[in-house]
């Protein structure tokens, strides 16, 4: 039986970190992820973890130290948010290209500017092409569960890529929710010991980490890295199936909520999906076939699978909590629309930007989006429909 508790999202992830008990954690504080290294440091001080905590002078140093520790053969983790993630930009690519399966808790927060400390996906979405796996959570429970699955995914011999476990800053990271924890011994058995095949402290190791690669070698390395990302889809599903056997909670690449027969669907990531589900429930009670596709895994991008799940829908709104400044919308919208096109899905699709800098998205706002989709279904798509904002002070869907 699971252990019933009440925890914030940061507490839940830190508790999972304690249960996994990695070898090394370099970290530098930044709101709203500061609590994570703080909790871990307390666990270490209280003798509940034997992780080596390394205080560093910046987030760039944090990721550099994590790369060094992981390359040496230590299971490694760190945590960051927003500008801290941006400060790591250079070495994010190094970690991925070196095929180092370290794990990072990303508590999503808007990148500046204007300066803001609230929830947005611009930080992790900005790193979407760095070669990291990315898994997102709607709730504190999911943030906890995702962390426990993280190393099983990233350390798999067919993957060997670093992983970001993401949750929305303050909305889940600091809000307290009911949660069910798994017993320590079950977590330890599930995650297992880290036994890397190649690592620098192995006296017989002939592999180099981070060497200069010229033309004859570099492209092949990138293709191999890309294959690890492709392989990760099946590994994520396999790990989730095994996780369900110890927790009773089932996960996939995405969640379908009343999607099977939906005429109008929203596609979204993270905590906003709770309000979308409430809106779907209310609309279903009125006889409107509304549905939700909640994205859990963004890297690898399950475009083919999501396109197939949306094939029967009449109109789809793809929701982005990040602005790409491409004049076309956000990253989720761009990638999913491309996937739908390749799959021959003829559903009408629009992109909606919401929740920037922590702006609320209420149930009534979600209902407005569904009403807009119904309007599009009747009159057809117009050029002004494709790229919308919801929640601006002086207008709704636009």
Domain with residue 142: its CATH number is 3.40.50.970
User: Per-residue confidence at 210, pLDDT binned at 50, 70, 90?
Assistant: confident
Within a domain: 262: yes
* Residue 396 in this model has a pLDDT that exceeds 80: no
Per-residue pLDDT, 397: 54
- Rounded to a whole number of angstroms, the distance between the first and last alpha carbons of the chain is 48
**Same domain, residue pair 137 and 206:** yes
Give per-residue pLDDT as tens, 3-57: 999 999 999 999 999 999 999 999 999 999 999 999 999 999 999 999 999 999 9
User: Per-residue confidence at 398, pLDDT binned at 50, 70, 90?
Assistant: low
Strand arrangement of the beta sheet that strand 387-389 belongs to = 254-257, 290-295, 264-269, 315-320, 348-353, 387-389
Q: How far apart are CA 169 and CA 111, in angstroms?
A: 12
Within a domain: 396: no
Per-residue tokens: 75: 């299971």
**Residues 126, 270, 124: CA angle, nearest 5 degrees:** 15
**Same domain, residue pair 294 and 242:** no
Q: What percent of the chain has pLDDT over 90?
A: 94
Backbone φ and ψ of 223, nearest 5°: -65, -40
Q: How far apart are CA 294 and CA 302, in angstroms?
A: 12
Of 191, 225, 247, the last residue of a domain is 247
Within a domain: 394: no
| Contact between 107 and 173 (Cβ < 8 Å) | yes
Within a domain: 193: yes
Weakest-pLDDT range from 243-247, 385-389, 390-394: 390-394
Domain that holds residue 384: 254-389
**Same domain, residue pair 219 and 330:** no
Mean pLDDT of 351-380: 97
Give per-residue pLDDT as tens, 217-265: 899 999 999 999 999 999 999 999 999 999 999 999 999 999 999 999 9
User: 216 vs 62, which has greater pLDDT?
Assistant: 62
Per-residue pLDDT, 142: 98
* Residue 395 in this model has a pLDDT that exceeds 70: no
Mean pLDDT of 185-203: 96
Within a domain: 395: no
Q: Which helix (H) or strand (E) holds 55?
A: strand 52-55
**Same domain, residue pair 224 and 334:** no
**Same domain, residue pair 258 and 291:** yes
**Same domain, residue pair 195 and 261:** no
**Same domain, residue pair 28 and 74:** yes
Q: How far apart are CA 7 and CA 27, in angstroms?
A: 22
Within a domain: 25: yes
Tally: H helices and E strands in the chain: 13, 15
**Same domain, residue pair 72 and 189:** yes
Q: How high does pLDDT run on average in the chain?
A: 96
Of 195, 224, 247, the last residue of a domain is 247
Domain with residue 265: its CATH number is 3.40.50.920
Q: Which residues pair with 389 in a beta bridge?
A: 353
**Same domain, residue pair 174 and 261:** no
Per-residue pLDDT, 383: 92
Within a domain: 398: no
Q: What is the pTM of this model?
A: 0.97
Per-residue tokens: 78: 């760190």
Per the structure, the count of domains in the chain is 2
**Same domain, residue pair 202 and 286:** no
Which residues, other chains included, contact 226 with Cβ-Cβ below 8 Å and sequence gap of 6+?
none
**Same domain, residue pair 237 and 279:** no
**Same domain, residue pair 24 and 101:** yes
CA distances from 373 to 317, 318, 381 (A): 7, 11, 10
Give per-residue pLDDT as tens, 43-71: 999 999 999 999 999 999 999 999 999 99
Give per-residue pLDDT as tens, 262-299: 999 999 999 999 999 999 999 999 999 999 999 999 99
Q: How far apart are CA 347 and CA 307, in angstroms?
A: 10
Per-residue tokens: 22: 């990695």
Of 247, 268, 288, the last residue of a domain is 247
Within a domain: 397: no
Give per-residue pLDDT as tens, 120-165: 999 999 999 999 999 999 999 999 999 999 999 999 999 999 999 9
266, 336, 345: which is closest to 311 by C-alpha?
A: 345
């Amino acid at each position: 039986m699971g252990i019933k508790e009440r925890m914030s999202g940061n507490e839940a992830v830190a508790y999972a970190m304690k249960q996994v008990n990695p070898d090394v954690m370099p970290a530098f504080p930044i709101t709203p992820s500061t609590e994570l290294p703080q909790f871990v440091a307390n666990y270490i001080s209280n003798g509940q973890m034997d992780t080596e905590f390394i205080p560093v002078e910046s987030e760039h140093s944090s990721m550099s130290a994590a790369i060094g520790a992981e390359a040496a053969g230590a299971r490694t983790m760190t945590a960051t948010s927003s500008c801290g993630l941006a400060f790591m930009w250079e070495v994010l690519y190094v970690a991925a290209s070196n095929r180092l399966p370290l794990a990072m808790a990303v508590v999503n927060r808007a990148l500046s500017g204007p300066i803001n400390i609230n929830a947005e996906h611009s930080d992790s979405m900005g790193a979407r092409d760095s070669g990291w796996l990315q898994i997102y959570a709607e709730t504190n429970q999911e943030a906890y569960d995702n962390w426990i699955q993280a190393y099983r995914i990233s350390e798999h011999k067919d993957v060997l890529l670093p992983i970001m476990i993401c949750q929305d800053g303050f909305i889940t990271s600091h809000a307290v929710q009911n949660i069910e924890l798994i017993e320590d011994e079950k977590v330890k058995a599930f995650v297992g010991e880290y036994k890397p095949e190649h690592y620098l402290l192995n006296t017989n190791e002939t592999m180099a980490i981070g060497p200069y690669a010229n033309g004859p070698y570099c492209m092949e390395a990138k293709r191999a890295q890309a294959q690890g990302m492709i392989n990760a889809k099946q590994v994520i599903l396999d790990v989730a199936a095994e996780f369900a056997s110890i927790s009773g909670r089932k996960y996939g690449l995405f969640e379908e909520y009343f999607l099977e027969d939906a005429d109008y669907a929203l596609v979204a990531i993270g905590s906003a999906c709770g309000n979308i589900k409430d809106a779907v429930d209310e609309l279903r009670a009125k006889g409107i076939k509304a549905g939700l596709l909640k994205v859990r895994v963004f890297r690898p991008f399950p475009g083919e699978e999501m396109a197939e799940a949306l094939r029967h829908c009449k109109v789809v709104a793809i929701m982005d909590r990040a602005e790409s400044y491409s004049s076309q919308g956000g990253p989720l919208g761009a990638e999913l629309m491309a996937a739908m096109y390749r799959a021959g899905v003829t559903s009408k699709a629009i992109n909606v930007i919401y929740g920037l800098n922590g702006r609320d998205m209420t149930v009534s706002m979600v209902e407005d989006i569904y009403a807009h989709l119904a309007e599009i279904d009747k009159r057809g798509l117009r050029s002004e429909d494709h790229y919308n904002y919801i929640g601006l002070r002086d207008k709704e869907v636009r």
